[in-house]
Amino acid sequence: MAEMPEGHQGQGFFATKLGNLIGLARKNSIWPLPFATSCCGIEFMATMGSHYDLARFGSERVGFSPRQCDLLMVMGTIAKKMGPVVKQVYLQMAEPRWVMAVGACASSGGIFDTYSVLQGIDQVVPVDVYVPGCPPRPEAIIDGVMRIQDLVGKESLRRRNSPQYKALLDSYGIQ
């Protein structure tokens, strides 16, 4: 059950700010897009299974079309040749969109400090939450989703139009 946002309550009515209501709806209906390339993807599959059940958090509809999803979950080793693909998938997602780097490889390149491996996806797209581990346990992935939910629920409706957000996207070459 979701927490009730701040507001005024009376006999037969409840009044709150529109931003609080939209934040509550968004945070409990996140549609993840898994971009899994290696062992972290297997842990994500376990997270979606019945034992851990990510559906409890409103993320049961896993989408494989960027245009319908709002959470990009990058899991596993990303080669430098795949960097533009990750960026293209990110650009195809509609705003508001969030990114979660799952595992050591997606966060920092992991143990693969080579010429061909991207040393963190934050070199191509802005990342909101990092999930540590090699591979991370399903509990860590669930914790990452809960942290995304906190960000989504508290985000201002006008944040995406702010000069700071536009400057962040410009630093990644995204208009």
| Sign of the C-alpha dihedral computed for residues 83, 84, 87 and 89 taken in this order | negative
pLDDT in tens, 43-63: 888 888 888 888 888 877 888
Average pLDDT over residues 132-149: 92
pTM assigned to the model: 0.88
In this predicted structure, the answer to whether residue 110 has a pLDDT above a threshold of 90 is: no
pLDDT value of residue 1: 58
In this predicted structure, the answer to whether residue 165 has a pLDDT above a threshold of 80 is: yes
The pLDDT mean for the chain works out to 88
pLDDT value of residue 155: 87
> Of 115, 138, 121, 116, whose CA–CA distance to 35 is shortest?
121
Tokens of 95: 């705003």
pLDDT value of residue 87: 94
In this predicted structure, the answer to whether residue 72 has a pLDDT above a threshold of 80 is: yes
pLDDT bin (cut points 50, 70, 90) of residue 2 is: low
High-pLDDT (> 90) share of the chain, %: 46
In this predicted structure, the answer to whether residue 98 has a pLDDT above a threshold of 90 is: yes
Question: Is residue 71 classed as helix, strand or coil in its secondary structure?
Answer: strand
pLDDT bin (cut points 50, 70, 90) of residue 13 is: confident
Domain ranges of the chain: 29-140+147-153+160-171
Tokens of 88: 């293209």
In this predicted structure, the answer to whether residue 117 has a pLDDT above a threshold of 80 is: yes
Average pLDDT over residues 141-154: 92
Q: Are 107 and 130 in contact (CB under 8 A)?
A: yes
- Domain 29-140+147-153+160-171 CATH (choose: 3.40.50.12280, 3.40.50.1950, 3.30.1600.10, 3.40.640.10): 3.40.50.12280
